[in-house]
Amino acid sequence: MIENNFYLQLKDLHSWHYDRCKDFKSIVDFFNWNSLMISKPEEIFLHANIFKIKKITSTNINQNEDILMQSSGTSGSRRSNIYSDRLTRINQQRALIKIVSENLKINVKDKLNYYVIAEEFSQKERIFDAQKAAILGFSVFSNKKIFLLDKNGHICEEKIKTMINDHNPFIIFGFTSNVYLKLLLYLKEKNIIIDCKNSFLIHGGGWKKLSRFGVENSILKKEVNKYLTNITCRNYYGMIEQTGSIFMECPKGYLHSNDYGQIIIRDNNLEKQKDGREGIIQSISLLPKSYPGHSLITEDLGVCMGEDCCECGAKGKFFKVKGRLKKSEIRGCSDVY
């Protein structure tokens, strides 16, 4: 059951987009969802792919201020196009700071060195993909960014030496596939072990690419513990359509809901699943204001393990992501376009 305060905020967010986005209003009116906006707001959701089909916004686009964020497009030729205005970006940054600070006990004022498993790019760009958006998001905790990949996508040996000689706590960030295929395989090949005491490795996304190599979370963590000793390693689940509203992994290996984001697991007919049963993930975020991406059906499969009973002690729902949904399994999803 969604907590009352979260429920009220979600209801208000539905109304916000209903009043400002003609596409969202058309969908709600067409399916006669007006009563659900008040009684059961969690039952109103769009499919995340709608942002690949057309441009949908709840604000007038300001080409000089607004940022266009795009999905990776790895699962198809089309990309999601998300327009983020200043208000939405402020909400996203505040939420990310609170979520990461509470989960990893990092103080944003510490400004740790930030080692990024990516190629360097300009922050003045107006178009960001999922990786760049995540890099900029987590950089709020950093003193300076050190990009570990050269222009050819290879690990830069000098940057690794900098990390080895960095005796202060630091943050390493990268897409999960880059953590394994770029950094860990390099350290393994060179037989380099780095003592990362009091430091953090944050990673997310890229699991589909790693699945081709038979690498799952337990294997990744084993390699991390071997070559990046004493580091705190945390996976997160998130999507470009709901930037900032991420679900962080706890020490017990589960992903957790938070004050800004909730999940619901649904079956192939989009009915709610009971805890312990696998289904399609519906991701709800209170952050998007410039576009109606606040309640989305994803193409990810997950299992809700319970609520308020995780061994880590954190409250709220905790869950696992089990993989991607086969498109042939989706039934009724045309209803959420």
pLDDT of residue 74: 54
pLDDT of residue 327: 61
pLDDT of residue 305: 97
pLDDT of residue 54: 87
pLDDT of residue 70: 85
Lowest-pLDDT choice from 26-30, 137-141, 204-208, 241-245: 204-208
CATH 3.20.20.70 correct for 1-50+251-337: no
Residue 119 bridge partners (DSSP): 149
Q: What is the pTM of this model?
A: 0.91
pLDDT of residue 332: 40
Average pLDDT over residues 162-178: 95
C-alpha span between 261 and 122 (Å, rounded): 30
Burial class (CB in 10 A: 0-12, 13-18, 19+), 150: middle
C-alpha span between 163 and 336 (Å, rounded): 47
Contacts of 81 (CB under 8 A, 6+ apart): 51, 52, 55, 68, 69, 70
Tell me the percentage of the chain whose pLDDT exceeds 70: 93
Average pLDDT over residues 79-89: 89
On the question of pLDDT at 77 being above 80, the answer is no
Q: Give me the helix-helix angle, 4-20 and 22-30, nearest 10°.
A: 110
CB 272 within 8 A of CB 304: no
140's tokens: 């709020």
Q: First-to-last CA distance in the chain?
A: 25
Contacts of 279 (CB under 8 A, 6+ apart): 265, 266, 267, 268, 273, 301, 302, 303
| Residue 122 pLDDT grade (very low, low, confident, very high; cuts 50, 70, 90) | confident
Name the residue with higher pLDDT: 66 or 85: 85
Average pLDDT over residues 187-195: 97
On the question of pLDDT at 4 being above 60, the answer is yes
187's tokens: 């350290």
On the question of pLDDT at 330 being above 70, the answer is no
Pairing of strands 255-256, 170-175: unpaired
Average pLDDT over residues 103-124: 90
| Region of residue 153 (left: phi > 0; alpha: psi -120 to 50; beta: else) | left
